[in-house]
Chain A
Amino acid sequence: MADTAFRKIDIDIYDEDVLLETELYDPDPRDPSQVLSDAKQKQGAVRSSLAKSDIPGALDIALDSAPYGPNVDEAKNLTLQTVVTILNSTKSSDISNVIKALSQDAQDTLMKYIYKGMGMPGWGDVSGSVLLGWHEKLTEIAGTGCIVRAMTDRRSV
């Protein structure tokens, strides 16, 4: 067995011109505290939309300017919680129409949240079977391209 320890050496510390994570995407112009208050406000707006059973409207609000980047973990969790609540309260027969009403931006963001949810089984109200149902419908409509964008985008939610 060859020695593989050299593979664990952090060679970036010897590089003066190292590419930093922050250079890979444009940062969110909002302040972290503002991102959090936006997320809380959106949660309220989503609740009132859900009370009127306006699922597309609720999803639109939740997916608009989603928090990304460092230092906004609380807002990220809050938004995931909001999105999951909407996904769970949608009848499976309505899913396709709801997705079709979304913009391409919102579809891409929704795909990110579906993958995030799948990566946190048992967290909050996350339900694997609901997410899989949405994932199937979303892929049918927005294609594999939507999955590729969820994977490439460094602005992870």
Chain B
Amino acid sequence: MSAPEVYSIAKSPISCHSFNADRSQVAVSLNDNDVQIYDRRGKEWQVTETLSEHDKTITSIDWAPNSNRIVTASQDRNAYVWQQSPDPQTGKMVWKPTLVLLRINRAATFVRWSPNEDKFAVASGARAIAVCSFDSENNWWVARLLKKPIRSTVLSVDWHPNNVLLAAGSADMKARVFSAYIKDVDKRPAASVWGEKLPFNTICGEYSSPAGGWVHAVGFSPSGDVLAFAGHDSSITVVYPSGPAVYCIRINTLPYVTLTWTAEDMIVAAGHDCQPIVFSGSEGGWAAVGSLDDTTTGGAKAGTARSGPVGRLNSAAFNTFRNADSRGHNADTAGDTELLTVHQNTITSVRPYEYSSDGSVARVSTSGVDGKLVVWNVSAVSTGGLAGRLGGMRI
């Protein structure tokens, strides 16, 4: 079992991250108005460039692997597409921003390039998703808005591999699948499980979170035939539209805020519980199989936590208070406030990092509020942490 690669990038939260195609560079936002580009220097990451154009906090970054363009979304209601071009004086390659006219009157919350990289979708607080494509005649990006029937802030989007369908999770407790077909850009898509005729703003599916939680994250499976979403009601739902079958897994820890498919039968989800959890299943059913974070190897620390409370409460600090309360122990581990997980705070984003030869994701990267960037091996699933937690359920 290979240990995760842990990089402590910053003292401040990392709100989002995106690697370039060969993973030699990563663009992150440290919860402020700038995008920092880090270069890999051996085992370290060093800031080489800062992209400053937004005047409010950046909410999302996506780096297109093939066209090498970066798109950023921010609370200032704008999106910029960044492209590298040579500086006229020095000849050095620099990132040049292009403003995108989004026509939204609230913060942009999330952005993703489409698979063909000729469109991108910007989710926003204006109850709308801006689908942007490049107008070469006028040399700018134009946006078309997906509005109906969104009732609240859109928190995440994900593209179907056919470059046309778009999934969106929103704060009105619904996950939806839209058509984002744009006549001049897209070829007519082949019929799929989501429908045949797909003009712009067709609603191909609408699904509620089970206990009324905001839908924080959505994701299409690699084939695009299955949809998964994570809600703030501590649940993950997997939808097979052709079945039609809907599997809802209620978890016993704090909610997930981000998820990614690693293969047709596997999802990695992470969030307020500070560790990436692996779910596995098929059309027959889904279940959690374990954590990528091996919390049981913490030695003595883990031993004290084993029988203890659930999830994020499973920390040395909590146990110190509990021992002081129930057994009158005086805290000899005072000041030890570390969680037993690698990430010490909420994980903000989990993304595919490296693909294996069969097309499945071999490694995923996570960024967290603790300022850490971690690369995990997907095959290294530790069932110990989960079993430990389940063990706590036995009385």
Contact = CB atoms under 8 A, between A and B. Distances in A.
A40 to B, nearest CB: 27
A100 B390 CA distance: 12
B212 A145 contact: no
A144 B253 CA distance: 5
A149 B211 contact: yes
Interface stretch (A58-66, A75-83, A114-122, A134-142): A134-142
Interface residues of B, number: 30
A96 to B, nearest CB: 5
A113 to B, nearest CB: 15
A41 interface: no
B151 interface: yes
Interface centre among B172, B211, B389, B392 (most CB of A within 10 A): B211
B395 A140 contact: yes
Interface in A89-131: 96, 100, 104, 108
Max count, chain A CB within 10 A of own CB: residue among B233, B254, B389: B233
Contacts of A146: 234, 252
B393 A145 contact: no
A155 B395 contact: no
Interface stretch (B17-25, B310-318, B357-365): B310-318
A104 B234 CA distance: 12
Nearest to B308: A140
B173 A24 contact: yes
Contacts of B312: 144
A103 to B, nearest CB: 11
A104 B250 contact: yes
A149 B311 contact: no
Contact of B233 (A19, A141, A148): A148
Given A140-B393, A144-B312, A153 B250 contact: no
A23 interface: yes
A70 interface: no
A143 B311 contact: yes
A96 B395 CA distance: 7
A145 B151 contact: no
A148 B251 CA distance: 10
A25 B212 contact: yes
Contacts of B389: 143
Nearest to A148: B234
A19 B151 contact: yes
B371 interface: no
B255 A148 contact: yes
Nearest to A139: B310
A155 B312 CA distance: 26
A138 to B, nearest CB: 11
Interface in B199-217: 208, 211-214
Given A96-B395, A144-B310, A152 B211 contact: yes
Nearest to A23: B151
A144 B212 contact: no
B310 A152 contact: no
Contacts of A145: 234-235, 250-255, 311
A104 to B, nearest CB: 5
B172 A143 contact: no
Interface string B201-244: 00000001001111000000000000000011111000000000
Contacts of B251: 143, 145
A154 B212 contact: yes
Contacts of B214: 152
23 contacts: A17-B127, A23-B172, A26-B208, A108-B250, A139-B309, A142-B252, A143-B252, A144-B234, A145-B234, A145-B251, A145-B252, A145-B254, A148-B232, A148-B254, A149-B211, A149-B233, A152-B211, A152-B212, A152-B213, A152-B214, A152-B232, A153-B213, A154-B212
| Nearest 9 CB-CB pairings of A with B | A143-B252, A145-B234, A149-B211, A152-B213, A153-B211, A152-B233, A143-B310, A145-B252, A148-B234
Given A24-B173, A148-B232, A149-B213, 6 more contacts: A143-B251, A144-B311, A145-B255, A146-B234, A148-B255, A152-B233
Interface of A: 17, 19, 23-26, 96, 100, 104, 108, 139-146, 148-149, 152-155
